[in-house]
Structure 1
Amino acid sequence: MNKNFLFKVDWTVKRIYLSREFDAPIEKVWKAFTDPELLKQWAVPKDWTIQDQTWDFTVGGVSTYLMIGPEGERHWMYDEFTTIENGTRFSSIGMYCDDQGNPNREGPKSYTENKFFSIEGNRTKIEATHVFDDENTFKWFAEGGFIEGSAMTYNQLDEVLTSE
């Protein structure tokens, strides 16, 4: 079935928009985005792992985690949740942090909003918008492997949703 994956880049406002459909009810997809144990199973490419995760899914709460790549690359990430509308939408500010979870507030940031919609056939549509405050970071995402990585992780999410 066509999953209607859409990836659009808007260079004028440093924004990346993605949408994708899933053959699962909205409650199940929402849980896959908001349960840290499920996130570990799909939110990074297959050859990467997530470790040392903290998770406080509340407005003002924080998620920190270490992404480890196949060559031993290590990226500490920090997300602060700014909006949560249970079951339909959440947004966050993302940035790098140190290994103690202290965010680099002077470094580049991304502002992400995830929206969830029930669609015909007990399916779900996701819309994700990422806005970047730094030109170089935006360019890296827009021209780098973000489209391929997003497609890969959404396919992994399909696998998680069918195994749950």
Structure 2
Amino acid sequence: MKTNLLFDFAVDRENSTVLVKREFAAMGDVVWDAFTKPEILDQWWAPQPWVSKTKYMNFEVGGTRLYVMCGPNGEEHWALADFTSITPKTNFQYADAFCDENGNINEEFPRSKWNLDFENQENTTLVNITIKHENLEDLEKIIEMGFKEGFTMALDHLEELIMQKNNS
């Protein structure tokens, strides 16, 4: 089993984009499901000690995921993903936004467009994530909010879940 798994987080300010490459010690189906099934997403999507709870998810083009990240002191941050493209097992895209518990978008926070590519390798799966922001100001706001640290923690938690599954 490969233990030196690739993780790269880069910020491209010229194109207002975040680029994440993360390798997981699991086959493609396992990793795909972790990103596309709400019962698995809710186990890892939020940075600990926060937890993710999906209110509803319709994983199809034109569908949405409405979810909340709940903090240890009762904080709630709602978000919405609008799925714009899905190529099963290899790619999906969505527009992300902060919102309220009914899915009404909070215009005070920037939206972003996510593109996730899944690449099967010998014993691992590489996920390439491109997160495009409207402008540099929006990108900087998300970075200042701790996106890199929070998303890194969430991806690390996914890797732990995969390792637990592999060892059970």
TM-score (norm 2): 0.88
Preserved contact between residue 16 and residue 133 of structure 2 (Cα < 8 Å): yes
Question: What is the CA-CA distance between 1:59 and the residue it aligns to?
Answer: 0.2
Give 2:161's aligned residue: 160
Give the Cα separation in 1 of the matches to 2:108 and 2:159: 36
**Residues 1:89 and 2:91 aligned together:** yes
Give 1:80's aligned residue: 82
Moved more, 43-52 or 4-13: 43-52
Match of 1:33 among 21, 32, 35: 35
| Percent identical residues | 36
Question: What is the CA-CA distance between 1:98 and the residue it aligns to?
Answer: 1.9
Counting only pairs closer than 5 Å after superposition, residues 5-154 of structure 1 correspond to structure 2 as 5-104=7-106, 108-120=110-122, 122-154=123-155
Gapped runs of 5+ residues in structure 1? none
Q: How many residues align?
A: 163
Moved more, 62-71 or 84-93: 62-71
Give the Cα separation in 1 of the matches to 2:45 and 2:109: 23
Preserved contact between residue 109 and residue 134 of structure 1 (Cα < 8 Å): no
Letter in 1 for 2:36: T
Give the Cα separation in 1 of the matches to 2:54 and 2:93: 22
TM-score (norm 1): 0.90
Question: What is the CA-CA distance between 1:148 and the residue it aligns to?
Answer: 2.2
Q: Deviations over 1:82-138 (max 9, x none)?
A: 010000000000112222122346852100011100112x21000001111254431
Letter in 2 for 1:127: N
Gapped runs of 5+ residues in structure 2? none
Q: Deviations over 1:5-39 (max 9, x none)?
A: 10111111210000011110001100011110100
Question: What is the CA-CA distance between 1:154 and the residue it aligns to?
Answer: 1.4
Question: What is the CA-CA distance between 1:51 and the residue it aligns to?
Answer: 2.6
Superposition RMSD on alpha carbons, in Å?
1.8
Preserved contact between residue 89 and residue 113 of structure 1 (Cα < 8 Å): yes
Provide the secondary structure at the position in 1 that maps to 2:14: coil
